[in-house]
């Protein structure tokens, strides 16, 4: 065999060895990054979901403050009126604590349809990025959507698992203007409402949520923030205190831990709750503190 042929063979062998190790370390690196999206990992994404009539502006302030307190704004996921999903922004496997805003472009969409779309979004995030876990922040209807999505699909093997859930002004037992009981309702020490709301065009009934939440995951940390604008209605002007606090009866016994934080006065108004520096930093600490 000529010297040139021997040299070529050696070069081929060296090239194959280098290629093998390059592939090996690339796979190892991807697996490491994906493992960080495991329970409590640095790469666990946080989804922000707005309420009925909301838009990107509804969660912009929350996402901005969260990005200053440890998260990284990465994606805006747009869902059109027919459920078509589009993506804006860039999310990489090594993005630390990615922030993802979910925007329903048809502003008034029933909860059951939002639940179906959010489920599809979560499946895509797992398929494309390998996310096994996620956190979620929901304002108003968005909180109900997050709750019911986790409850209905937790047993789905392909579904990422909810780890931390922040509910802001969640109308679990009705919205004032859509409820005949107004603000006359109240809850007991366990969060059980005196009156169960009926289903309507936009929301499931409280009994439906109660049934669904029998399957809500058991290892979720929950922060329930609700407002009282001191207008003598015991409400934030849209959602009664009783309706927001009735989340406890739905999942309080199943949650890993459950905490309620009231916001009173002007800053306790429904829309101000997601544009409130006090609320913003409480949420950021809850989501991103390492302890």
Give residue-wise pLDDT tens across range 57-70: 768 788 888 888 78
Q: Is it the case that residue 191 has pLDDT exceeding 80?
A: yes
So what's the pLDDT on residue 213?
Answer: 97
So what's the pLDDT on residue 39?
Answer: 58
Q: How confident is the model at residue 18 (pLDDT cuts 50, 70, 90)?
A: very low
Q: Which has more pLDDT, 111 or 30? A: 111
Number of CB atoms found within 10 A of residue 83's CB: 14
- Write the pLDDT tens digit of every residue in 89-107: 988 878 889 999 999 998 8
Average the pLDDT over 142-158 and give the result.
95
CB contact at 8 A, 74 and 43? no
* Percent residues over pLDDT 90 in the chain: 60
Mean pLDDT of the chain: 85
Q: Is it the case that residue 118 has pLDDT exceeding 50?
A: yes
Q: What is the DSSP letter of 100?
A: E
CB contact at 8 A, 165 and 159? no
Per-residue CA distances from 150 to 86, 140, 147, 160 (Å): 22, 16, 5, 9
- Write the pLDDT tens digit of every residue in 235-287: 999 999 999 999 999 999 999 999 999 999 999 999 898 888 888 889 988 99
């Amino acid at each position: 065999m000529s010297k040139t042929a021997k040299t070529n063979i050696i070069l081929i062998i060296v090239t194959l060895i280098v290629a093998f190790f390059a592939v090996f370390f690339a796979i190892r690196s991807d697996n490491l990054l994906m493992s960080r999206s495991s329970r409590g990992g640095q790469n666990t994404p946080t989804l922000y979901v707005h309420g009925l009539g909301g838009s990107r502006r509804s969660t912009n302030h929350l996402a901005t403050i969260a990005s200053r307190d440890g998260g990284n704004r990465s994606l805006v996921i747009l869902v059109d009126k027919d459920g078509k999903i589009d993506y804006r922004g860039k999310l990489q496997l090594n993005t630390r604590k990615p922030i993802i805003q979910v925007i329903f472009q048809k502003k008034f969409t029933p909860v059951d349809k939002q639940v179906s779309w959010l489920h599809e979004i979560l499946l895509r995030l797992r398929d494309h990025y390998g996310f096994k876990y996620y956190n979620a922040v929901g304002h108003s209807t968005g909180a109900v959507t997050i709750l019911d999505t986790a409850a209905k699909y937790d047993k789905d093997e392909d579904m990422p698992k909810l780890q931390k859930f922040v509910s802001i002004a969640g109308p679990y037992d009705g919205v004032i203007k859509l409820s005949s009981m107004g603000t006359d309702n109240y809850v007991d020490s366990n969060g059980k409402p005196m009156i169960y709301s009926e289903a309507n065009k936009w929301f499931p009934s409280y009994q439906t949520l109660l049934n669904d939440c029998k399957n809500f995951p058991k290892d979720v940390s929950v922060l329930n923030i609700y407002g009282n604008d001191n207008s003598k209605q015991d409400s934030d002007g849209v959602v009664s205190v009783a309706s927001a606090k009735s989340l406890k009866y739905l999942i309080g016994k199943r949650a890993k831990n459950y905490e309620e934080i009231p916001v009173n006065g002007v800053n306790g108004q429904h829309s101000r709750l997601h544009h409130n520096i006090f609320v913003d930093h409480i949420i950021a600490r809850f989501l991103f503190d390492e302890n």
